Amino acid sequence: MAGVGRRRGRIVLSIICIVLGVVWFFPILWMLFASLQPNSELLVYPPRIIPRVVTLENFKTILFSTRGVNVGRAFLNSVFYASIVTLGVLVTATPAAYAFARMRFRGREVLFWLIVATLILPVQMFIVPVYLLLDKLDLLNTIWAIILPPIGPAFGVFLLRQFMLTIPDELEDAAKIDGCPPLRFLVQVVVPLMRPPLVSLAILTFLGTWNDLLWPMLVITDSKLLPLQPALTRIRGEYHGTFEAGTIMAGAFVAAIPVLVIFALASRYIVRAVSTSGISR
């Protein structure tokens, strides 16, 4: 009896969750289906969710149009910026985290916790002074304004240090006896050991840069240098929301494709990245 009740419970749970999942995901499906329809089809009532006519016209318009901002170019800009920032964070945070976790020097703990304490400060506290700094250095409206500041925050150092604390002492002792220089030890032994947290950090950094709107919007006005997020907010002014909804949805979907692809291919890594980002408990 109990078994039957349990199986029935499981079927009900299954149905509830699948329905919930479909409803939850529906807006994103609608974004895709709308972008595949001619704009005129989107004005009819009742709306056609499954496209009657499928066309790639909207994607062609949004990616290659010379009307205002070019989303195709902004897409490539974003790939470039996010990759460089990710590289910059990995290259600077890895040795620093290693030093804070494994090396002995005066003031190590105090310095580390002071650095980590800045993580709770809201990003808004840095916007005005960093903007003025870049202005003074004549770097506004250059790629440096997007690439350099995100390397400052201590998140990567904090995350990697937690994992580096777990490296067994014996490994280091062996390396010291062999006369292996610290930098080579870091690159050849520590980095391969730290692959999972490094991948997590890379994913979080890439997505963070890809998804940032406010900062690039403030420091970049040249539409050639614009990354995708501010470019998207601009197409809204350039296309008519009601009559060109399909075209705008094509732009929105283009920006969502990379993250959806990363999620489809590496959801395991993303889940781990997020759960380790909450490592402080």
Partner 1 sequence: MGTTKKKRRDLTPFFFILPFMIFFIVFIVIPLIHGLILSFQDWGLMSDPIFVGMENYKELLGVRRFKQAVQNTLRFAGLSVPLLLVIPLLLALLLNKSFFGQKLAQNAIISPFLIPSGSVLLLWVWMLDSQTGMINHILKALGLPGQAWLSRSNSAMAAIVFITLWWTSGYNIILYLSSLQDLPQELYEAAAVDGAGGWKQFWHITLPLLRNRMLFITTLQIIASFKLFDQVYILTGGGPAGSTRTLAFYLYETGFRDWMFGRAAAVSWYMFIMIAIIGVLQAKLLTRWLGEGV
Q: Within 228-267, which residues bind partner 1 (CB under 8 A)?
A: 228-233, 236, 241-242, 245, 248-249, 251-253, 255-256, 259-260, 262-263, 267
Site for partner 1 in 71-110 (CB under 8 A): 88, 91-93, 95-96, 98-100, 103-105, 108
Kindly state the tokens that stand for 94. 């890895």
Candidate list 20, 54, 165, 174; residue touching partner 1; CB under 8 A = 20
What b/e sequence results for 60-84 when a residue is b if at least 16 CB atoms lie within 10 Å of its CB, and e otherwise?
Answer: ebbbebeeebbbbbbbebbeebbbb
Residue by residue, DSSP assigns 26-42 as: HHHHHHHHHHTS-GGGG
- Residue owning tokens 């959806």: 260
Residue 53 or 271: which CB sits closer to partner 1? 271
CA pair distance 213, 227, nearest whole angstrom: 9
CA–CA separation, 74 and 241 (whole Å): 20
d(CA 136, CA 209): 24
> How far is the CA of 53 from the CAs of 32, 42, 56, 93, 257, in angstroms?
13, 11, 10, 50, 22
Q: Which of residues 29-48 bind partner 1 (CB under 8 A)?
A: 30-31, 34, 42-43, 45-47
- The piece of 54-62, 113-121, 167-175, 193-201 that touches partner 1 (CB under 8 A) is 113-121
Number of shown-chain residues binding partner 1 (CB under 8 A): 95
CB 53 within 8 A of CB 38: yes
- 188 lines the binding site for partner 1 (CB under 8 A): no
Shortest approach of partner 1 to residue 212 CB, angstroms? Answer: 9
Largest CA distance in the chain: 77
Contact status: 67 vs partner 1 (CB under 8 A): no
Q: For residues 125 and 174, which CB has a smaller minimum distance to partner 1 in the complex?
A: 125
How many whole angstroms separate alpha carbon 159 and alpha carbon 271? Answer: 15
Rounded to 5°, the CA angle 102-104-109 comes to: 85
| Token pair belonging to 15 | 């149905």
Nearest approach, Cβ of residue 16 and partner 1 (Å): 7
User: x/- binding map, residues 141-180, to partner 1, per CB under 8 A?
Assistant: -------xx-xxxx--x-----------------------
Question: Which member of 54, 76, 187, 213 binds partner 1 (CB under 8 A)?
Answer: 213
Out of 65, 180, 182, 191, the only residue in the binding site for partner 1 (CB under 8 A) is 182
Nearest residue (CB) to partner 1, 202 versus 228: 228
**Nearest distance, CB of residue 111 and partner 1, angstroms:** 8
